[in-house]
Structure 1
């Protein structure tokens, strides 16, 4: 009888121990699941992205206009030096115009360089481009001759040398009648022009040049700015 009671008590104690083990292990599994759910992996990380700043494109209106306005159909008509400068400026301007990332500063500089090089173009000297000056025709209607290429030959009556320009009064008939006022850059000659020299002038007509003579009278003369001056021997 005593042995049976002890056996029953031992069985009850064994069951009680197993129940406690099952109860205490359950919270650990739940905790592990909760922890796993709360800590996301790298793929679950959300990164905030900032929008790219808006790109402001340069205004190429003036450059486009200059490419059209300051175009040259025949660069060979101009001196090699000035034509090379123009061609370099034109190439740079076209490259900037095609560059979507060009800055406003680059665009403005390219436009200005193109205009400057165009203005600096110098036509190659060619005698065939100049017509012989008719003194009476120019004196009678000077405005219609402004900008025309003219040539004339005469004797130097007076020389006025200044900074960067030499001016002469040229008697186209050899005497004191039919006098033309001629200005030129002294660098186009290796020597100085003197009074009584016979010279041939090729240049652009400026219309009339007026000045006050020593006695106070107003004098107007046909004027030419010379591209070339030849001292006749």
Structure 2
């Protein structure tokens, strides 16, 4: 009996030791998983303030800029709000592939600011509406942090629910005549050549670069009947009276043919300047889409309304001759 008792003691002790070690290991593992789980970051939705919405030259996209309290790296999403998360899709992308690959990617927050391109076809998502000049679509513009999905994956149902829960204010996106014309031109290209998507894309790109800009519309005609020419591709030459610049856009007031009574307001994206600047007194030839009448306030507080042009091309010939316009 003693011999059996003595023999059993180390076995029991060994069993107890193994149980203790196993329990300790299990508890340690559980503790580690709990710690890892607690460190996982949850997706958060931040509201934004859109400060500018402009139509890109030779394209149908809206270019938006804005500010937000979201941290650096948060992804910007633009979507219609819906009670059904499955109906909510992202309609924006970064500028020239912000992921460094040149491919479409999420626009991201940097130093509290962001810039994004919004596709009207994706946002409106209805052929009966995205071919109507002046049609307005409301959409939420939000920033999403700790969101790991790539741009092609879009918004998950969980992310869409989080956006709805944040209850963001919506922004109005209004279709311009140049956007509708561009979208119509895509339809024309598709119907004329359906052999392949690449040939259609090439045709569309070629079409946008070979537009015929009218030179027969006088300033007087444009000023008197702006509705008739709104959306038309026009060309004017004149002397720069004033330059207003920011990081993304440049606005000019031009004296057409040197006549300071015939002032044209020109809006252009800085991308078409290729790093150069337009200066006052320069002689320029500008091509673009008639924007109807542009109104602004003079320093005296007086409201001034003049014809406007959304520039797609500009040629700067340097300082205008002293006798230009005489």
TM-score, with length taken from structure 1: 0.49
More strand as a share of residues: 2
Q: Which entry has the higher C-alpha Rg, 1 or 2?
A: 1
More helix as a share of residues: 1
TM-score, with length taken from structure 2: 0.36
